[in-house]
Chains A and B, each alone.
Chain A
Amino acid sequence: MSITLKKVSHEYNPGTTFATFALKNLSLHIEDGEAVGIIGPTGSGKSTLLQHINGLLRPTEGELEVEGIHISREKQNLSELRKRVGLVFQYPEYQLFEETVEKDIAFGPTNLGLPPEEVDKRVQNAMERMGLDYASLHDRSPFEISGGQKRRVAIAGVLAMDPKVLMLDEPTAGLDPLGRRQLMETLRSLHREQKITLIVISHSMEEIAFLCERVLLLKDGELQLDKRVEEAFEDVAFMEENGMDVPVISRVMHELRQAGKPFVRNYSSVQEAAKAILKAAGHA
């Protein structure tokens, strides 16, 4: 199963003075088990794109095929799709509403009509996967735990539906550095160890480089670039022209290349890059 978009366009408020095209003629394909980063300036249509992939929005033109389910302009029942494709909105902690963490995470699986024992299992499993301690947290109120924990609880609420594809809209926005790092590690292990397809929107190129293998750049609702991460971040000039940035490592490598040093590729971690530089300098 995979995700395919064919000439998808989306217009908000069509036929009124507020009409805006948020997506324009977008075609792309995402394979099972990929980790894809979506970048682009604010208002470029990133969130709109994610909402199409789990059917919260329907295209005004074109069509999608997601996990074998066809989505077009026509109204249809999409509960099956929501089961397979999870979407974590920006600042997802604002959607928490239950008395306890456990009940809140159980909201999704309960809506799927699962038996109570299965729901319990899913909740414990999702908390474990998000690095939340079940014993100490399950009966706490979701409003009295820390910001980073709230975010994890909200993500666990989506994971508990056991989706094959997990999409996250700026998952680390507003978290402190430790919270960010931990969440990134958690997401990476979800992808690497549990083979979940990841689609992540982020303004941090560092995070994209850490998490993803492929990156899509949107601008004004159009796909500007669709490349492997290392390739994309090699072209510093292009990224800057489009209002984006590259990870610090890529910039260092770029400068070294400019200075005539033979660094051919970007490194996905600081350690790797440091080793390569030391080696070139004759220290290793």
Chain B
Amino acid sequence: MLRDITVGQYYPGNSILHRLDPRTKLIGTFLFIIVIFMVKTSPQYLLLGLFVLLNVFLSKVPLRFIIRGLRSIVFILMFAFAINLFFTPGTPIFRLWRIRITHEGLRLAFTMMMRLVLLIMGTSLMTLTSSPIQLTDGIERLFSPLKRVGFPAHEVAMMMSIALRFIPTLLEETDKIMKAQMARGADFESGRLLQRARALVPLLVPLFIASFKRADDLANAMEARCYRGGRGRTRLHELRYSSRDFLAFLTLAFLTAGVYVLGII
């Protein structure tokens, strides 16, 4: 039941997107998000949409995988759509009793929805094509200039990779404890909100205890292997930019230019 969660999932492969330097993908995604929020007109959205589809094609990740990621936020999408649709003031185009839909509302609802969809598709494309290790390596390298002013780049990256590493373990554990409590007659699926919240106690308490214990064990194991943080550590895989990354940045530059041009004509 809990195994359907795909957020942050990695889809192993060897496509050009997989082989890009993680830093390129991180910066690229960041730029892409900025571009999304600059966009206003439909031709611009069309261009961004095509760009995302092109990347999906290049990544060789099945489209349904990315769609599945969208499914988990369907509720948020609908909510944002409805809010914008019904509560934007402007020239009404449709009216039924107190409900009023304006021209501006319709427009805003569509743009918001497009933005969210593009945002999710873009970022999940990044996580789908980079392993958690690559991503945290990339983050550490990107933030390492800040080490000089005391920012713990290595520690933050280490925390992230440990967190990512333990998500499946935690899901497995949740599944196990849930089953054990169900065997004692616990009911996690019915009842009102308050009852349901209370039903979570027998799940959460053991889960917290197990997590603390696991954290303690892991800390001991790391110390036993002389882990002392990032100073003086060398890496097995050094990150290096290649011509692929140059090409990727060039493509992004053209995309940004394209969006800009479509905006002024």
Contact = CB atoms under 8 A, between A and B. Distances in A.
A59 interface: no
Contact of A79 (B179, B185, B201): B185
Given A56-B179, A89-B176, A89-B179, A95 B187 contact: no
A83 interface: yes
B186 A54 contact: no
Interface stretch (B20-28, B97-105, B109-117, B202-210): B202-210
Interface string B164-204: 00000000000011011111111100000000000001100
Contacts of A111: 184-187
A40 interface: no
A253 interface: no
A95 B181 CA distance: 7
A165 to B, nearest CB: 12
B71 interface: no
Contacts of A13: 3
A171 B24 CA distance: 52
Contacts of B205: 97
Contacts of A82: 182-185
Contact of B184 (A51, A94, A143, A161): A161
Nearest to B11: A17
B183 A158 contact: yes
Main secondary structure of the interface of B (DSSP, over half): helix
Interface residues of B, number: 18
A147 B177 CA distance: 18
Chain A interface category by residue count: 20 to 34
A35 interface: no
B206 A97 contact: yes
Nearest to B183: A87
Nearest to B3: A13
A247 interface: no
A197 B265 CA distance: 81
Contact of A56 (B183, B202, B209, B210): B183
Given A94-B210, A95-B206, A96-B206, A108 B180 contact: no
Interface in A86-129: 86-89, 92, 94-97, 107-108, 111-112
A45 interface: no
B206 A157 contact: no
A95 B3 contact: no
Nearest to A107: B184
A13 B2 CA distance: 11
A183 B210 CA distance: 24
Contacts of B206: 94-97
B66 to A, nearest CB: 16
A86 B183 contact: yes
A92 B180 contact: yes
Nearest to A79: B185
A112 B183 contact: no
Contacts of B180: 89, 92, 94-95
Looking at A92, A96, A111, which has the most chain B CB atoms within 10 Å of its CB?
Answer: A111
Contacts of A54: 183
B95 to A, nearest CB: 44
Given A83-B185, A95-B181, A97-B201, 12 more contacts: A56-B182, A82-B183, A88-B183, A89-B183, A94-B177, A94-B206, A96-B206, A97-B205, A107-B184, A108-B184, A108-B185, A143-B209
7 closest A-B pairs by CB:
A111-B185, A97-B205, A108-B184, A95-B180, A87-B183, A89-B180, A97-B202
Interface of B: 3, 176-177, 179-187, 201-202, 205-206, 209-210
